Amino acid sequence: MPSAKKSANSLIKLVQVPSWNDPRGNLFVFEKDLPPFEIKRVYYLTNTVENFSRGFHAHRDLQQIAVAVNGRCRMVLDDGTKREDVWLDSPSKAIYIDSMMWREMHDFSADCVLLVLASAEYDESDYIRNYDDFIAAAKG
């Protein structure tokens, strides 16, 4: 995976999205090993509301890449032992979210468009939506 930033043991795996910028605007590309999985699903969040947070779950197997292609939000990741957060505030700044990672999204700007690339089709049974269940599963 190109350009994963922050220290190796950080939960926050940032990825610089390659772009082509010229006077007409900016064009961002995901290809080759970005994301580091075959894309099976793409979805995006719009009409987000600053006071309403989202997420509050983990995925047993799903891997994802998320990027705010417009606006911003604050992504919180928690692996059951520590919790870190990062602002997603640029279309060039994507985050890789591994499986078994509790995620919360806070402080959405009204103009946020959060694009998510996923390694699998939607499967509600892959979700862990209760934090205590997540902690138990993370401990193995």
Give me the active site residues, please.
57
Q: Any residues with CB less than 8 A from the CB of 12 and at least 6 apart, and which? A: 5, 6, 77, 84, 85, 86, 95
Tokens for 129?
Answer: 């939506």
Task: Specify which residues 58 forms β-bridges with.
Answer: 128
Is residue 116 part of the contact set for ligand T46 (CB under 6 A)? Answer: yes
Min dist CB 22 to ligand T46, Å, is 31
Query: Which member of 103, 108, 119, 134 binds ligand T46 (CB under 6 A)?
Result: 103
Neighbours of 97 (CB within 10 A): 22
Measure Cα distances from 18 to 40, 93, 111 in Å: 21, 10, 23
CB of 87 to ligand T46, least distance (A): 15
Q: Quick check: 55 binds ligand T46 (CB under 6 A)?
A: yes
Question: Interacting stretch for ligand T46, rule CB under 6 A, among 10-18, 24-32, 38-46, 80-88?
Answer: 38-46
CB closer to ligand T46 out of 34 and 101: 101
Residues 58-87 binding ligand T46 (CB under 6 A) are 64, 66
Taking the complex as a whole, the smallest distance from the CB of residue 120 to ligand T46 amounts, in Å, to 10
Taking alpha carbons only, the member of 63, 53, 60 closest to residue 15 is 63
Q: Does 48 bind ligand T46 (CB under 6 A)?
A: no
Distance CA 95, CA 3 (A): 11
